[in-house]
Amino acid sequence: METDCSLLNLIKELYPICRSITGEGVRETLRIIQKRVPLEIQEVPSGTKVFDWTVPLEWNVTDAYVMNREGKRVIDFQSHNLHLMSYSVPVRKKMSLEELRPHLFSLPAHPEWIPYRTSYYKENWGFCMRHVDFEELSDEEYDVVIDSTLQAGSLTYGELYLPGEASDEILVSCHVCHPSLCNDNLSGITVAVKLAETMAARSRRYSYRFLFIPGTIGSITWLAQNEQIVPRIRHGLVITGVGDAGNVTYKKSRQGDAEIDRAMTHVLRHSGEAHSIIDFFPYGYDERQYCSPGFNLPIGCFMRTLHGQYPEYHSSADNLDLVRSESLSRSYADCLQAFELLEGNRVYVSQNPRCEPQLGRRGLYRAVAGQQENQCRELALLWVLNMSDGRHALLDIADRAALPFGQIQSAAEALVEAELLKEYRSPGND
């Protein structure tokens, strides 16, 4: 498998930035993505009502630390942005270890890792630290400083719309709200950027919309403000956690048998890679919002190891060592193949439905005689001819024939060329 260094390079560039669900870190991230694809950066003011939620105050941080009596920073946001709990309110106070302790978080099971904690919707503050450092803290007075602002501003997200022949859309969504975490957050962003670059350079049957949004509140905000676009979404993927060494996990849409579910299942089954396909459940990433019952969109979630099932999840060990160029490239290739399948998944009608047409006379058998998998190709021609009755799309035929979609598609193209097949146009669907 050809690996693509540009994917890992983008992760390296974005890794140091302190992101959260709002604030300068998200803007800076989107501006870097903008150098690759022409994203529009959208700002939604704090206080905007979005369904049952409200766009929160904007959070920014310049510095945060806990300093001991000798003037040493025993916890320092400058050395790792995970040290500060996201959305911590400003603090400037001297306090004892006793007072400080309820605001300290560590991972006894992984004493060298810094945990990732947030408190978006409840005013709080906290520091996250290596358990080994936590155990070193002595009972003394500390200077606790969180130089943050939590004030009216906006929620920022990025949106790229690529118009196609049809106004029907394929939606790709990834979250951009985690700070220095590589697999959970940056891997999804980088694969989505690469897919956007590829699709932008191609002619497209579908329109594509790429959303780079803060998790949960971002998809809720987008859905609340774009209800008129929602009916155009025909297929979609949430892409996240696609850089670790584990196998692919595809979580189906709530519908369970949407075309994207069938397309992804087909791609993975024929990929030769170990993978698992799991049913929808209302926990995880932004598929929770897209697949809420009032929308019930045909949007699945493409991951590798499931969130929470790798020990490095939501800790400083989800770093550059955890993500692999090969996993990113394979994830990209699988998603691209699913889009190619959806692009090519058309319905045809045989122009010679009464008994088989004589393929040899038209050079269709001979044309493939010298090629490998000769028999499969002949079989593909027969399957396409037999099932093209205006009611079966090429993916139905590929699955029924247990042949790769590409082979069925090539057979259909050859039959169209020989005027034995015509694309089906349902009335009113030009």
Residues near Zn ion (CB under 5 A)? 184
Reduced to 3 states, what is the DSSP secondary structure of residue 15?
A: coil
Beta carbon nearer to Zn ion, 184 or 261: 184
CB atoms within 10 A of CB 37: 19
Beta carbon nearer to Zn ion, 169 or 184: 184
Reduced to 3 states, what is the DSSP secondary structure of residue 22?
A: coil
Reduced to 3 states, what is the DSSP secondary structure of residue 116?
A: coil
Beta carbon nearer to Zn ion, 239 or 385: 239
For the CB of residue 313, give the shortest distance to Zn ion in the complex, in Å: 7
Distance CA 74, CA 174 (A): 35
Answer whether 394's CB lies under 8 Å from 412's CB: yes
Reported as type and span, the H/E element at residue 134 is helix 131-136
Interhelix angle 5-14/24-34, rounded to 10 degrees, is 150
From the number of C-beta atoms within 10 Å of its C-beta (0-12, 13-18, 19+), residue 362 rates as middle
Beta carbon nearer to Zn ion, 186 or 387: 186
For the CB of residue 295, give the shortest distance to Zn ion in the complex, in Å: 22
DSSP 262-322: HHHHHHHHTT-S-EEEE---S-SSTHHHHTSTTT--SEEEEESSPTTSSTTTTBTTSSTTT
For the CB of residue 139, give the shortest distance to Zn ion in the complex, in Å: 34
Beta carbon nearer to Zn ion, 183 or 265: 183
Beta carbon nearer to Zn ion, 184 or 334: 184
Residue nearest to Zn ion (CB): 184
Residues paired with 145 in a beta bridge:
65, 92
For the CB of residue 107, give the shortest distance to Zn ion in the complex, in Å: 15
Beta carbon nearer to Zn ion, 211 or 233: 211
Beta carbon nearer to Zn ion, 19 or 235: 19
Which among 263, 162, 249 is positioned nearest to 211, based on CA atoms? 162
Answer whether 162's CB lies under 8 Å from 208's CB: yes
Which among 145, 144, 112, 142 is positioned nearest to 129, based on CA atoms? 112
Residue 72 CB partners (closer than 8 Å, separation 6+)? none
For the CB of residue 88, give the shortest distance to Zn ion in the complex, in Å: 18
Beta carbon nearer to Zn ion, 56 or 115: 115
For the CB of residue 307, give the shortest distance to Zn ion in the complex, in Å: 6
**Can you tell me which residue has the tokens 């042949």?**
403
For the CB of residue 304, give the shortest distance to Zn ion in the complex, in Å: 14
Beta-strand relationship, 169-175 and 154-162: unpaired
Beta carbon nearer to Zn ion, 215 or 236: 215
Residue type, 369: A
Maximal CA-CA distance, the chain? 93
For the CB of residue 185, give the shortest distance to Zn ion in the complex, in Å: 7
Beta carbon nearer to Zn ion, 235 or 304: 304
For the CB of residue 184, give the shortest distance to Zn ion in the complex, in Å: 4
Distance CA 262, CA 159 (A): 27
For the CB of residue 386, give the shortest distance to Zn ion in the complex, in Å: 48
Backbone angles phi and psi of 108, in degrees to 5:
-55, -30
Answer whether 85's CB lies under 8 Å from 106's CB: no
CA–CA–CA angle 387, 392, 393 (5° rounding): 115
CB atoms within 10 A of CB 105: 17
For the CB of residue 315, give the shortest distance to Zn ion in the complex, in Å: 11
